[in-house]
Amino acid sequence: MTVANTAAPYPIQAETVAPLLGAAAGRIDLHVVAECDSTNLQLQHMAKAGAASGTVLLAEHQTAGRGRRGREWHQGSQSLAFSLLWRLPDDRAPTGLSLAIGLAVAEALHAGAQLKWPNDILLNGRKIAGILIESAAAQRYIIGIGINLGDTDDLPTELQHTATALDVPTDKNVLFAHLLDQLVLILDRFSAQGFAGLRARWQARHAYQDRAVNLLFSEGSTPLQGLCRGVDSQGELLLETPTGMQSISSGEVSLRLQ
């Protein structure tokens, strides 16, 4: 692992994480910075400049963290924000990749963590982590992950009733190394088998299984109503509606319990 730690003293350090790695050992090149606008954006620049698959950029603080659907991502002072550059094999489509990453994060974080399609991670019904995947170049993806740690007091008021945070672990390096291991294991499985090889594990953590939901394609639009029947082997959401089963592929929708 290349050590590139330009941050002020901060609990996560590349040289501390390296010996803790299992499956990710030798597969990850971790860079830690005190601050940047968005780790997704900076990793895009690094990818354009030739960064290899496995490059990770972690920032203690982001000034312009990006969320899904053009939203801002607010990061608490103890929270984790990082991005991973990963290359998929030429014959592997990215269909279901964001669900696979959600699964990796949920499994690494907490036995009780659940998944809300397409890729929110919930604990006790509240959002604990979010994922934003952006394309970098052919078969190369920027996988951005934000995890709430500590408390939600420093999040905007409107998020405080929908978000939650994990207790800060004694050593964040251990948690982070575990996360990287889990990501590598899941990405290897995804590369070999696609989402089909992970579907059963995703289903086991599905927060809204058989619940009545509203699906909104844009703010203020008439919701599509139905029973949430999980996901298929491509990671499409299966919604049982009065007119039959519908599969929803776009992640650019909002899913809410009725």
The residues that touch ligand BTN, with contacts defined as CB under 6 A, are 38-40, 62, 65-68, 71, 73, 81-83, 130-132, 144-146
**Whose Cβ is closer to ligand BTN: residue 134's or residue 240's?**
134
In angstroms, what is the minimal distance from the CB of 131 to ligand BTN? 6
Question: Which amino acid, one-letter code, is at 251?
Answer: G
- Go through the chain and tell me how many residues it has: 258
Q: How far is the CB of 159 from ligand BTN (least distance, A)?
A: 11
Nearest distance from C-beta of residue 2 to ligand BTN, angstroms:
20
The DSSP 8-state label assigned to residue 196 in this structure reads: G
Please give the structure tokens belonging to residue 52.
């290899």
The smaller minimum CB distance to ligand BTN, of residues 14 and 142, is found at 142
Within 13 Å, how many C-alpha atoms sit on residue 6's CB side?
9
Half-sphere exposure of 229 (CA within 13 A, CB side): 14
CB 89, min distance to ligand BTN, A:
24
Nearer to ligand BTN, 196 or 216 (CB): 216
CA distance 139 to 97: 12
**Residue of 48, 71, 211, 256 marked active site:** 256
Q: Position of tokens 């050992």?
A: 25
Q: How far is the CB of 202 from ligand BTN (least distance, A)?
A: 17
Tokens of 84: 């991973």
Is 11:172 a contact under the CB 8 Å cutoff?
A: yes
The active-site residue, picked from 66, 68, 172, 199, is 68
Active site residue 27: no
The C-alpha atoms of residue 28 and residue 31 are separated, in whole angstroms, by: 10
Locus of tokens 């298929």: 232
Taking the least distance from each CB to ligand BTN, the nearer of 39 and 173 is 39
Three-class secondary structure of residue 185 per DSSP: helix
Q: Which is nearer to ligand BTN, 69 or 211 (CB)?
A: 69
**127 annotated active-site:** yes
Min dist CB 217 to ligand BTN, Å, is 17
Identity of the residue, 44 or 229, whose beta carbon is nearer to ligand BTN in the bound complex: 44
**For this structure, is 205 an active site residue?**
no
The first and second tokens of residue 169, run together, are 């672990």
Choosing from 66, 87, 127, 199, which is the catalytic residue? 127
Laid out side by side, the sheet with 29-36 consists of 4-5, 29-36, 55-62, 80-87, 140-147, 126-137, 120-123, 114-116
Q: Which two tokens stand for residue 21?
A: 């790695």
Give backbone dihedrals phi and psi of 185, rounded to 5 degrees, phi first. Answer: -60, -45
Q: Which positions are catalytic?
A: 68, 127, 256
